[in-house]
Structure 1
Amino acid sequence: MCGIAGFIYADRDRPVDPETLVAMAAIQHHRGPDGFGVRRMPGVGFSHARLSIVDLDESRGRQPFESADGRLMLTKNGELYDYQRIRADLTARGDRFQTKSDSEMIMHLYPRLGLEGMLPHLRGEFAFALYDRSAERLMLVRDRFGIKPLYWAEADGVLVFGSELKVLFAHPEVQRKFDPAGVYHQLMQTIVPGSTAFENIHQVPPGHQLVVERKGGRLHVSQQKYWDMPFPDEADRPSEYDEDEWIEAVRAKLLEAVQLRLEADVPVGCYLSGGIDSCSILGLAAAARQSPVKAFTIGFDNKDYDESPIAREMAESTGADQDVMMLDASHLYDNFVETLWHTERTIYNTLGVAKLLMSRHVQSVDYKVVLTGEGSDELFGGYPAFRRDMFLHGLDHLSAEERAEWEKLLAEQNKLFKGAMLAEDEVRHQALEEKVGFTPSCLQPWLASATRVPGLLSTELNAQLTGYDPGQAIAQQLDGESLAGRHPLDKAQYVWIKTMLEGQILTWGGDRVDMANSMEARPAFLDHHLAELAAQLPPSLRIKGKTEKYVLREAMKGLLPEVLYKREKFAFMAPPAHTDPKKWAAMRGLADEYLNPTAIADAGLLSADGVKALFDLHDDKQLTAATQNKLDAIINHMLGVQVLHRHFVATDVPAQARAKAEQLGWRVEASM
């Protein structure tokens, strides 16, 4: 895992400033502290900050790479698996490799197969930029689920890209200005897929390629999808199936995914919570290694949110070397501002802060790589929102007695997270009803929060957002062809994958807080071979009766302690601010600094009266816990937009990046 950056000019004769490329690498030094590189071709420049995981020899593995014939230039972030087999095949065909890096195979596959032909062979989590000098074509490619970030912006005759927003902002021609709709979505938590909080700053969507070509002195940009979650048409699903065959297939594919992700030239550990997802990964890793695996666990001082006791039981059952980091209320808001410099978006729960502290701890004990359990709930129907949608829209055949049992279960499930993971009251949205067939439960709490946003925005932003419909904006970005004719559970999972997974779990809960401390996370469940199998699973094997992730439980039954095998889904979250007086006081301390009338006026994003009114509402002793959870999330978002303004608008980021390069001693002549 590393950090990538670069830009291309419409005018190929325009000089490429190498110092800007160095600065763009330096400001993401946290992603790649083990070295950096800069390379240029006419009108194009790439840079790279390296985290050494595979091929630790810096003299061989330093990127950006250039092909022997001078045609291709590559800078890549992430890991490609199964690359030894592909390299061996290409070598047998006459190719000669200069490094042991997994990245180099891209430069051998592309000339043989072209971009479209090459992409099916790339397995893993990655984002890369490939420039073809002969075609004057820049290709930006992101992995299938968006595990690795990739942003881009087009200014006057230049397109800039990078692994983080601050990398783009380090280029002097990229404007640092909030987008009104972007601020709206930061305050309601769920962003429009492919967007950011900033004007004219975009993401390459998961499973997409962005192609930039010079034509007639201009840059022509096109975007194309190369992969999507392949849920089949409901009419094509067989009415009968062999349950045991599916269980065996899931077990085999997950084991394969774990084994591939244990490959590294540095030690590999595991994140371990109290859920069956991370426990399954740890169990398979221990079995594959046939030796104790280092297991890192976060514990909280609030027993309602602390999963460490169950995690300890799993660690003991596998003989893992467990490392538990206990956090109390005072830890989290103390590190909130730093966390947002890395996430570059607001967070509704301080779990993102806890994950940043954990990655710092992992790095401090000399681990660079961990396997994680992200993606399991998305593939196997683990979230309470999925069970609600399955009941409401996918179980028409239930008897009156069975329906009553389901209604009782849904009324009781996850009371702790109502207002965050589940809406307190049903929310329906016309645009989503038309696109999906119903309003997915996963979006309902945030659509409910959206009704409060206009009252929090400044008069200027509200004027620019007249008539804006956030639910419609989200619906417009969902692929109707991938939703049409699918089972309701497939639709619910698809929407979550396109919104909550990429926009939250893999950003402020994943890559951004892991790489903040140069720590690579590998989510084995998001191996696309496993995902393609999971998409074909009968819905009734994902949620069987009232048991979520049924097929995964059965596949991992031999590895899991009984308490875990039988355990219901428990969302991994940090205790909200209102649950602890110390944490509430810490949050109010941040609010005094970032949400005071002067700070609000300086940023021009929020309404001081609206902010005060929301805090006054939160102090109402008659509020339900669900409403308090929702208001806690909005407060975190209000703090977040103010912090983001200070980090990226009020601060001179290009000067900050150049100062960082100077501090590191990174200079152009040292990069080659």
Structure 2
Amino acid sequence: MCGIAGLWAHSHHPETMARAEKMADAIYHRGPDGRGFHVDPDNSLAMIHTRLSIIGLNAGDQPIFGRDSDGTGGMVLTANGEFYDYKRIRGLLRTDGYDFNTKSDSELAIKLYHKHGLDFVHQLRGEFAFAIFDEAKQQLILVRDRFGIRPLFFHNGPAGVFWSSEIKAMLAHPEVPRELDPKAQLHQMMQVMVPGMTLWKGIEAVKPGHMLIVSKDGDGFAVEERRYWDADFPLDGEHDELPDDEHIENVRRALVESIALRLEADVPVACYLSGGIDSCSILGMAAAIQQSPVKAFTIGFDDARYDETSIATEMAEMVGADQDILRVSALDLYGKNFEDAVYYSERTFYNTLGVAKMLMSKHVTDAGYKVVITGEGSDELFGGYAQFKADYFLHDPAYAETAAGADMKERNKIFSGSVLAEQTISHPAFEEVMGFTPSWIQPWMLVYERVKPLLSDEFLAKLDGYDPVAAIAYSLDRTMLDGRHVLDKVQYSWIKTMLEGQILNWGGDRVDMANSLESRPAFLDHHVAELAMRIPPSVRIRDGVEKWVVREAMKHVLPEVLYKREKFAFMAPPAHTSEEKGREIDKLLEKWLSSEKIAEHGIFDEEKLRASIAEYKQSDDHTANTRKDIILNHAIALHAIEELI
């Protein structure tokens, strides 16, 4: 795990090295174990790498160099992430005459590119974001993994092409503009981003499963975007129809392989452990594979309604894990910790879970660990979210006439106002693109409806009638939706938006790497994903039981209480749930939503915002207050982010 950055300019600047060092400084936390630079005046190129050493501890420095078979045409690689199964692939390449200069898995990319050209990405397995400069072809290739587990951003402007693992590294260069995008600010207020969008104008995220091919084009640079992988669900009725036992065994086998690959490192590997079946399954299988106690880290909250430590502890005891519980209080979730989470995430967040996870990553690294295996991705691939079940029950003919799930909202009412909508709402763009408005976006549409009246006339004028919900709907590839089962449609739409923009951002890489911790989500191995997508919806969700096939595959390693437990959203207690939290968020409101700040940023109408906050403080409506908590979290972060980064 590392950080990368770089620039390919029109002409070499004498300050290039000094500027490259500032870019590296901005992502020091991603790679405190070392840094490397390749500055090439002839090509007006700079490539930057900050290293977190996990594999090949003493022989994995980057950049990594390669040449064509005739010894000419240099190639340069900087990579962030992990390529799994690398020893087997290295062996195959050696039989083809390729020599390796390091013990690092990263060197695979440059050898495979040399052998296969741009098709090399199909040979890569893992979580990665990397850059290769091909001098002979005068071509830069930027690649991001299939789900966007590792971040990668780029800017193509008058000074040239810039890229980096985090936007702050590009903003450290004086020729990268810092102007915020009002449309992106609006999206962040409603939580859901359009794929590729960032808060800054002219700075985009490389989309998951995509590569950018950059070449000189006259006085500028041409950027070709190429999709090499997508979550390709089969047409409805064309899933793999197998006996249940085969589906169960296939899932078990795929997960064992994925977890075993992610246990490989030259440093100790731990697990994150909550009270959900995903992280518990990971821990159970890791313990069986290692046949020795696994270190398991759990977050505990000071509100029993949101706390899962008792179930996590039962799991840890069952497999003999060495459990370490970090207790997080109200004081921990706000103040500077809140601001730091915004700084590292480079976006707003609706819930302080990201703050808690950032604190956990520090706790883990303080305990001497650099790597954790996590459970993200299981819900996305196996139908785990309550919102997915709601659409399955509502729109699948097999469930539409039954009472299945009728009491689901009652069981999950604590999440009403956040991840579950308290009322049904639709949008014509989603009706057009998907045939229905998915339940997962409805709560965020309700957030948007409550935000709109608070916006200033000045800010609304900048938006010029922009519809963020339509923009999200129309960003989806209809060829990947048409003819698919309703469950596949909702999973696909979530994977393309919320998984990358939320789960893997302020819930994953960004807050983990804030403290130099590499997280490895085993369910998001693309071999596991491609298997999951071919499993019939009725096997993913069976008789109202979400992730049924995963439960059955992991039944032998799960406590009975967990095997039978319904999915419970993992989030931190919102601010309104205690007076102490209320006092802490008030301090942030006073600092970042002062009259001066509101006037300076021009996003909100101060009078309307103050009235909304006053109403919030007088209300005891949990659902309404949860939604107001979301709006306040976003508003604080939007006012803070420009100053923090």
2:392 aligned partner: 390
The alpha-carbon deviation at position 21 of structure 1 amounts to 1.1
Select the residue among 635, 639, 643 that pairs with 1:638.
635
- Contact 2:75–2:134 (Cα < 8 Å) also in 1: yes
2:191 aligned partner: 189
Could you tell which deviates more after superposition, 455-464 or 379-388? 455-464
Identity of aligned residues (%): 52
The alpha-carbon deviation at position 16 of structure 1 amounts to 7.0
Matched, 1:84 2:97: no
- Over 3 Å counting, the alpha-carbon distance change for 1:399 and 1:328 in structure 2 is closer
The amino acid of 1:446's aligned partner reads W
**Distance in 2 (alpha carbons) for counterparts of 1:612 and 1:398:** 45
2:290 aligned partner: 289
2:27 aligned partner: 28
1:575-614 aligned within 5 A: 575-614=573-612
Matched, 1:524 2:522: yes
- Over 3 Å counting, the alpha-carbon distance change for 1:315 and 1:450 in structure 2 is same
Select the residue among 145, 149, 152 that pairs with 1:150.
152
**Distance in 2 (alpha carbons) for counterparts of 1:600 and 1:628:** 22
**Distance in 1 (alpha carbons) for counterparts of 2:100 and 2:110:** 10
1:454 aligned partner: 452
**Distance in 2 (alpha carbons) for counterparts of 1:592 and 1:490:** 44
Matched, 1:626 2:626: no
The alpha-carbon deviation at position 618 of structure 1 amounts to 1.1
The amino acid of 1:383's aligned partner reads Y
2:373 aligned partner: 371
Per chain length, whose mean CA-contact separation is higher, i.e. which structure has more relative contact order (CA < 8 Å, sep 6+)? 1
Count of matched residue pairs: 638
Over residues 300-330 of structure 1, what are the superposed CA-to-partner deviations in whole Å (9 max), with x where a residue is unaligned?
1100000000000000000000001111111
The amino acid of 1:162's aligned partner reads S
**Distance in 1 (alpha carbons) for counterparts of 2:346 and 2:585:** 19
- Contact 1:384–1:413 (Cα < 8 Å) also in 2: no
- Contact 2:315–2:558 (Cα < 8 Å) also in 1: yes
- Over 3 Å counting, the alpha-carbon distance change for 1:373 and 1:399 in structure 2 is closer
**Distance in 2 (alpha carbons) for counterparts of 1:610 and 1:128:** 46
The alpha-carbon deviation at position 122 of structure 1 amounts to 0.5
- Contact 1:355–1:509 (Cα < 8 Å) also in 2: yes
- Contact 2:185–2:199 (Cα < 8 Å) also in 1: yes
**Distance in 2 (alpha carbons) for counterparts of 1:71 and 1:386:** 49
The amino acid of 1:96's aligned partner reads D
Q: Over aligned residues, Cα RMSD in angstroms?
A: 1.3
Select the residue among 156, 166, 180 that pairs with 1:164.
166
1:75 aligned partner: 78
Over residues 173-213 of structure 1, what are the superposed CA-to-partner deviations in whole Å (9 max), with x where a residue is unaligned?
11111101011011111111110111111000000011110
The alpha-carbon deviation at position 619 of structure 1 amounts to 2.6
2:341 aligned partner: 339
The alpha-carbon deviation at position 154 of structure 1 amounts to 1.6
**Distance in 1 (alpha carbons) for counterparts of 2:558 and 2:454:** 47
The alpha-carbon deviation at position 405 of structure 1 amounts to 4.2
2:308 aligned partner: 307
The alpha-carbon deviation at position 14 of structure 1 amounts to 5.8
Over residues 365-410 of structure 1, what are the superposed CA-to-partner deviations in whole Å (9 max), with x where a residue is unaligned?
110000000001011101000000101111x13485xx23432x23
1:5 aligned partner: 5
Matched, 1:129 2:131: yes
The amino acid of 1:406's aligned partner reads G
- Over 3 Å counting, the alpha-carbon distance change for 1:88 and 1:532 in structure 2 is same
1:324 aligned partner: 325
Instruction: Please give the TM-score of this superposition, normalised by the length of structure 2.
Output: 0.97
SS of match in other structure, 2:122: helix
SS of match in other structure, 1:404: coil
The alpha-carbon deviation at position 622 of structure 1 amounts to 5.5
- Over 3 Å counting, the alpha-carbon distance change for 1:606 and 1:645 in structure 2 is farther
Could you tell which deviates more after superposition, 71-80 or 639-648? 639-648
1:665 aligned partner: none
**Distance in 1 (alpha carbons) for counterparts of 2:403 and 2:157:** 58
- Contact 2:404–2:544 (Cα < 8 Å) also in 1: no
2:553 aligned partner: 555
**Distance in 2 (alpha carbons) for counterparts of 1:482 and 1:161:** 29
Over residues 418-454 of structure 1, what are the superposed CA-to-partner deviations in whole Å (9 max), with x where a residue is unaligned?
1111111111010011111111111110011111233
Matched, 1:243 2:240: no
Matched, 1:94 2:80: no
Over residues 559-580 of structure 1, what are the superposed CA-to-partner deviations in whole Å (9 max), with x where a residue is unaligned?
0000000001011100000001
The amino acid of 1:66's aligned partner reads F
1:656 aligned partner: none
Select the residue among 188, 206, 209 that pairs with 1:207.
209
2:503 aligned partner: 505
For structure 1, the 5+ residue unaligned runs are: 649-672
- Over 3 Å counting, the alpha-carbon distance change for 1:405 and 1:136 in structure 2 is closer
The alpha-carbon deviation at position 338 of structure 1 amounts to 1.1
- Contact 2:274–2:298 (Cα < 8 Å) also in 1: yes
Instruction: Please give the TM-score of this superposition, normalised by the length of structure 1.
Output: 0.93
- Over 3 Å counting, the alpha-carbon distance change for 1:599 and 1:93 in structure 2 is same
SS of match in other structure, 1:67: strand
- Contact 1:424–1:627 (Cα < 8 Å) also in 2: no
For structure 2, the 5+ residue unaligned runs are: none
The alpha-carbon deviation at position 10 of structure 1 amounts to 3.5
The amino acid of 1:127's aligned partner reads A
- Contact 1:16–1:45 (Cα < 8 Å) also in 2: no
The amino acid of 2:287's aligned partner reads A
1:257 aligned partner: 258
- Contact 2:392–2:399 (Cα < 8 Å) also in 1: no
- Contact 1:343–1:513 (Cα < 8 Å) also in 2: yes
SS of match in other structure, 2:234: coil
1:58-73 aligned within 5 A: 60-68=59-67, 69=71, 71-73=74-76
